[in-house]
Amino acid sequence: MDEHASSPAIAETPTAEPALATTPLDALHRRLGARMAPFAGYSLPLHYPSGVIAEHLHTREKASLFDVSHMGQALLTGRGAARLLETLVPADLESLTPGRTRYTQLLAEDGGILDDLMATRLPGREERLLLVVNAAAKEQDFALLGQELPQLSLTVLAGRALLALQGPRAASVLSRILPGVEEAPFMGWVATEYDGASAFVSRSGYTGEDGFEISIPGHLATGLFERLLAHEDVAPAGLAARDSLRLEAGLCLYGHDIDATTDPVEAGLLWSIGKRRREEGGFPGFARIRAAIDNGPARRRVGLLPQSKAPLRDGAILTAPDGRVVGGVTSGGYSPCLSRPIAMGYAESAFAAPGVRLASELRGKPVEVEVAALPFVPHRYASRGKGRA
């Protein structure tokens, strides 16, 4: 407990809200008419004048441009960087070839997820990993890495912006400005140049579509954003569309679908743990994760189809036919592609099969909920370089 919590003087003194951070694209978002909203300590565009549904569908049909500069970017450098980082994450990073990226999670001692991240092995003689972590957790992540891996050098890339161009026409658009990026495979990484400065391009994203994340110096972000928007196939999109797209794609949002109370197996992320790591361990919470692999987890992350017109939201409980609570909703919203509410959550394994009927409550009224397979909308990642026109 805070030792000052009971002090009348402090309790009665108004506390100013901490100022929100901004990205290098803040002025441009406002010029484009974005509705700004707080997220992870930043002021970010929630949506633009076209609206969330239009932005969502445009991403699925053509290509949308997102500002994700609030994410944390850092370089982890030193001999054995991949092997050493494996002591904190369950992915097989030692086998990662230069120019390739893997998704993984920072784990607590009990196997709970402290954050999820992307790790890329960079080319060159010196062993370097490029890390991209969530905005809300980046300070704790970087502190943890510095504390647990003091033999490595951690360089936070605070001056860089991060843009995400997502959709089936992303490759054809971006290759006109950064030639060669269309050759990258899914989860591939290339170093290129934009306006005389280094640019890092990863073929990845958070929408279930083909797409790229482009890291460039902050002072060049507005110019690149505007050049991409000048293409007839590209439109800006905000946080709300990013959330509905990832929910349709069945992708986890840290702080909702995964957190320190969930492990990768129950979260449906076993695919991110390589065979060698499943057998050898050597990462936090291995005993818990190995037991979940061998015996099955007590609960599982599932898709949910509420039989209602309005969406179920995070925190709604799930009950079995006998009224017993067997799970809960962690993400919920409206699916523009399916024209209906969808959700994700956790259910006891006995109730986690597609087609199982559960119940919840919405505004005080009972709602039937059907367990569904994930993703709701099939992924369309590039299976190899180039991508669709």
Print the domain residue range for 335.
298-372
- Shared-domain flag, residues 348 and 244: no
What 3 state SS string does the chain have?
CCCCCCCHHHHHCCCCCCCCECCCCHHHHHHCCCEEEEECCEEEEEECCCCHHHHHHHHHHCEEEEECCCCEEEEEECCCHHHHHCCCCCCCCCCCCCCEEEEEEEECCCCCEEEEEEEEECCCCCCEEEEEECHHHHHHHHHHHHHHCCCCEEEECCCEEEEEEECCCHHHHHHHHCCCHHHCCCCEEEEEEECCEEEEEECCCCCCECEEEEEEEHHHHHHHHHHHHCCCCEEECCHHHHHHHHHHCCCCCECCCECCCCCCCCCCCHHHCCHHHHHHCCCCCHHHHHHHHHHCCCEEEEEEEECCCCCCCCCCEEECCCCCEEEEEEEEEEECCCCEEEEEEEEEHHHCCCCCEEEEEECCEEEEEEEECCCCCCCECCCCCCCCC
- Could you say which of 213, 248, 283 is where a domain stops? 248
pLDDT of residue 96: 97
In a domain, 350, yes or no: yes
pLDDT in tens, 171-188: 999 999 999 999 999 999
- Shared-domain flag, residues 64 and 166: yes
In a domain, 40, yes or no: yes
pLDDT in tens, 205-235: 999 999 999 999 999 999 999 999 999 999 9
pLDDT of residue 386: 57
- Shared-domain flag, residues 169 and 233: yes
Query: Is 302 a residue whose pLDDT tops 90?
Result: yes
- Shared-domain flag, residues 167 and 305: no
Q: What angle do CA 377, 379, 380 make, to 5 degrees?
A: 125
- Shared-domain flag, residues 232 and 302: no
- Shared-domain flag, residues 217 and 354: no
- Shared-domain flag, residues 227 and 341: no
Query: Is 8 a residue whose pLDDT tops 70?
Result: no
Query: Is 7 a residue whose pLDDT tops 90?
Result: no
Query: Is 17 a residue whose pLDDT tops 80?
Result: no
The set of residues, in sequence order, having a beta carbon less than 8 Å from that of 106 and lying 6+ positions away, is 88, 89, 113, 114, 115, 116, 117, 133, 141, 144
- Dist CA 284 CA 296 (whole Å): 19
- Shared-domain flag, residues 63 and 163: yes
Domain count, the chain: 2
- Shared-domain flag, residues 325 and 244: no
pTM: 0.93
- Shared-domain flag, residues 168 and 239: yes
- Shared-domain flag, residues 319 and 239: no
Query: Is 276 a residue whose pLDDT tops 50?
Result: yes
143-151 mean pLDDT: 98
In a domain, 219, yes or no: yes
pLDDT in tens, 61-114: 999 999 999 999 999 999 999 999 999 999 999 999 999 999 999 999 999 999
364-386 mean pLDDT: 91
In a domain, 117, yes or no: no
Query: Is 6 a residue whose pLDDT tops 70?
Result: no
- Dist CA 366 CA 345 (whole Å): 17
- Shared-domain flag, residues 239 and 340: no
Query: Is 164 a residue whose pLDDT tops 90?
Result: yes
Q: For all residues of the chain together, what is the average pLDDT?
A: 94
CB atoms within 10 A of CB 65: 25
In a domain, 336, yes or no: yes
pLDDT of residue 231: 98
In a domain, 165, yes or no: yes
Q: How far is CA 251 from CA 172, 206, 246, 344, in A?
A: 25, 7, 5, 9
CATH number (domain holding residue 38)? 3.30.1360.120
CATH number (domain holding residue 345)? 2.40.30.110
- Dist CA 71 CA 300 (whole Å): 28
286-292 mean pLDDT: 98
In a domain, 56, yes or no: yes
- Dist CA 383 CA 312 (whole Å): 34
In a domain, 278, yes or no: no
Q: How far is CA 331 from CA 161, 248, 350, 355, in A?
A: 28, 11, 21, 19
